[in-house]
Amino acid sequence: MIPAPFDYVLAEHPDHAIELLGKREDAKLLAGGHSLLPAMKLRLARPALLIDIGRIGDLSYVREDSDTIAIGALTRHMDVAASAVLREQCPIVSFTAGQVGDPQVRHRGTIGGSIAHGDPASDLPTVILALDGELVARGKGGDRTIAARDFFTGVFQTALASDELLVEVRVPKLASKGWSYTKMSRRAQDWATVAVAAIVERNGSVGKASIGLTNMGATSLRATAAEEALAGGASVSDAAALADDGTDPPSDHAASADFRRHLSRVLTRRAIEEAASR
């Protein structure tokens, strides 16, 4: 399919993009284009103006602070996957970036695009949610920081205002915590049918865990019932059996909602076990 007609402008720096966004309601930012352009070709999105932020070099970086790591929103998946800092300090993020699509997708797609798109089937939002990460949004009034828990508000919906640019993703260093991102898809390099992120504090046994779910509802979700059961002393199997509590998974060509519920329980057990052993 061919997209509906649109105007195009290349943003030179973040403030330029914000200024352009504020001028037209029917404008959209273009980063890697690997979610927006397919949607435009299917005419599911019809922006009248594309503001290309893909060449703003200032927003492509991975920086280490004392206990957090800051990732520029325009950092491409392949650079996140290859980052020595992330591999050392927060490997669940670099590993998961390496699980996104295929090499072509990873060479164009950006972490900011993945998060701003708000697709519940995307991998990195779930990991950022499980890590209790933060997102930095920039608008005319300056920067504001949004907790990942408050960021994802619905299918393809986020807490970003229409004239805001996502500029940075912040994640904590994992230190001695174990981790896993366990993804099940029908074909290699496909979107997750279901995936589970687990971050586990190890004190001889699994006591406290953060568990994130991909494609189990309108947004990436936390498996709160399973987390609470583990904190209360339940076994990994008993806690994992609660993974789908409070979820509302879709039925589609890849799987029924019931099968997704089953998968979420199995993958949660596997993810916690892998995280505890790492």
Q: Which residues bind ligand FAD (CB under 6 A)?
A: 28-36, 38, 73, 100-101, 105, 108-110, 112-114, 116-117, 122-124, 160, 165-166, 191
Task: Compute the least distance from the CB of residue 1 to ligand FAD, in Å.
Answer: 14
What b/e sequence results for 160-177 when a residue is b if at least 16 CB atoms lie within 10 Å of its CB, and e otherwise? beebbbbbbbbbbbbeeb
**51 or 272: CB nearest ligand FAD:** 51
CB of 158 to ligand FAD, least distance (A): 8
DSSP string, 149-200: HHHEEETTEES--TT-EEEEEEEE--TT-EEEEEEE-SSTTPPPSEEEEEEE
Please list, in sequence order, all residues whose beta carbon lies within 8 angstroms of the beta carbon of residue 245, skipping any fewer than 6 positions away: 223, 224, 225, 226
Please state, as a whole number, how many other Cβ atoms lie within 10 Å of the Cβ of residue 141.
7
CB 48 to ligand FAD: min, Å: 13
Nearer to ligand FAD, 33 or 91 (CB): 33
Name which of 194 and 236 has its Cβ closer to ligand FAD: 194
Measured from the CB atom, the residue of 206 and 221 that comes closer to ligand FAD is 221
Rg of the chain, C-alpha, whole Å: 19
Minimum distance between the CB of residue 99 and ligand FAD, rounded to whole angstroms? 7
Cα(119)–Cα(158) distance, integer angstroms: 10
Token digits for 117?
């798109």
* Cβ closest to ligand FAD, residue 96 vs residue 210: 96
Q: How many CB atoms lie within 10 A of CB 13?
A: 13
Least Å distance between CB 263 and ligand FAD?
16
Measured from the CB atom, is 100 or 199 closer to ligand FAD? Answer: 100
- Residue 171 CB, nearest distance to ligand FAD (Å)? 16
CB atoms within 10 A of CB 8: 9
What does the chain come to in residues? 278
